[in-house]
Amino acid sequence: MASLCPAGLTGCGARRQPARRGTALTVNVLSYNRCIETNNNRVLRGETPSAEDIRAMAQADAIILPQGCRESLYFAARRACRHVFPDYDAFFAFPDKTGQAALFRKMGVPHPQTLAFGSVSHYSGISLPFAYPFVFKFGWGGEGNNVFLIQSAAELHQCLVKAADYESQGKRGFLVQEYIASGGRSLRVAVIGRDFYPYWRCAADGGFYTNLARGAVIDYESFPRRQQQAVAVLRDFCGATGINLAGFDFLFADQGSSRIPLFLEINFCFRCRGLGGVDMYHRYLEKAVKGWLAEIREKRHGSLCLDMGAEDAIQ
């Protein structure tokens, strides 16, 4: 594990000292991410930050949070510090898959035609703008769970019954989505800091589900131009939304003349098999955090005293 410890780092309870002119600027980096080691690592104990956590955040110049952190921890950090990694503003402002559909509409990016419903009663009497087959998704779940290809009224009825049952348990929200025939493949692009890592996930039988947990295989080489297209539009999207740690899924229609990348989903808690495993993910994450800290240094017009001795290991 690479160390990001600032040289001469002060403890979280010490008063910050202003840097003298002509000297290097020290920075207090507070990390709640066990993968990123600093001289000031903490673990959230309980569902909300403690008074001691709040004091530590108030003393920090930069805060690093775990992937998929609690909302309470994220907004406590955001209130206390200007510099927080990762940027989860969009994650909490547009929660779950129904929220993502709203975000895609807000940003004006191409995506499958989608209708979101807060409850089964909201769906009653709706005339859908697309024919069978179409996709039915609940607002939560991953790896293809709670996602269904609907090919008949009977299958739709089964999903609505399931939605009503979920509602009785306090879990609400689903969407129906235009089906895009994509040749049994989807493009995952992992965003880690300023870097983008694309790869295809291909259903072994050319079927509907392209999730690795359902037997899909990884393809890094095919259709490089399409991979570049997706990365280009995603770079703009992340620049506008601030998202810097997530896995984006794209579809390309296998018919028609307009083969543009369609935004499908955002996975803020994504698996790392397509990146080469956990170790490679940690290397990419360390590289991203060091780059992020370097940007803070540039904004502060000073030289941060960081122990970057392990930098060569993550290039």
What does the alpha-carbon distance between residue 189 and residue 187 come to, in Å, rounded to a whole number?
6
My answer on whether omega of the bond before 49 falls inside 30° of 0, hence cis, is no
Token pair, residue 120, equals 């089964």
pLDDT digits (tens, 9 = 90+) for 175-214: 999 999 998 999 999 999 999 999 999 998 777 777 777 7
Residue 142's pLDDT is 66
pLDDT the model gives residue 118: 87
Residues of the chain with CATH 3.30.470.20: 185-275
CA separation for the pair 48, 45 (Å, rounded): 8
Q: Which two tokens stand for residue 303?
A: 């030289």
Q: What is the pTM of this model?
A: 0.85
Residue of 133, 136, 60 lying closest to 98 (CA atoms)? 136
Read off the pLDDT of residues 252-289 as tens digits, 9 standing for 90 and up: 998 764 689 999 999 998 989 999 999 999 999 999 99
Q: Residue 44's closest CA among 65, 75, 67, 14? A: 65
Determine the 3-state secondary structure of 275 from DSSP: helix
Ordered per-residue pLDDT tens for the chain, 315 residues: 444 433 333 333 333 444 444 344 567 899 999 999 998 999 999 899 999 999 999 999 999 999 989 999 999 999 999 999 999 999 999 998 899 999 999 999 999 999 999 888 888 777 888 899 999 998 776 666 788 999 999 999 999 999 999 888 888 889 999 999 998 999 999 999 999 999 999 998 777 777 777 778 899 999 999 999 999 999 999 999 999 999 999 999 987 646 899 999 999 989 899 999 999 999 999 999 999 999 988 877 554 444 433 333 222
Residue 16 is predicted with a pLDDT of 40
CA–CA dist 277, 216 (Å, integer): 16
- Domain with residues 185-275, CATH architecture: 2-Layer Sandwich (3.30)
Name the 3-class secondary structure at 32.
coil
Instruction: Give yes or no for a contact between 61 and 296, defined as CB atoms under 8 angstroms apart.
Output: yes
End-to-end C-alpha distance for the chain, whole angstroms: 14
* pLDDT at site 315: 29
Fold classification of 113-178 is Dna Ligase; domain 1 (3.30.1490)
Q: What is the DSSP letter of 314?
A: G
| Helix 51-59 with 71-80: angle, nearest 10 deg | 40
One-letter identity of residue 280: M
Q: What is the pLDDT of residue 88?
A: 97
Residue given tokens 């509409």 in the structure block: 105
List the alpha helices (DSSP H) in the chain: 51-59, 71-80, 89-93, 96-107, 120-123, 153-168, 224-241, 278-299
Number of H helices, E strands in the chain: 8, 12
Q: Which of 22, 7, 30, 81 is nearest to 302 (CA)?
A: 22
The residue among 76, 65, 70 whose CA lies nearest residue 41 is 65
Query: Which tokens go with 163?
Result: 């939605």
Nearest to 115 by CA among 301, 81, 13, 127: 127
Which residues have a Cβ under 8 Å from the Cβ of 265 and sit 6 or more positions away? 97, 100, 248, 249
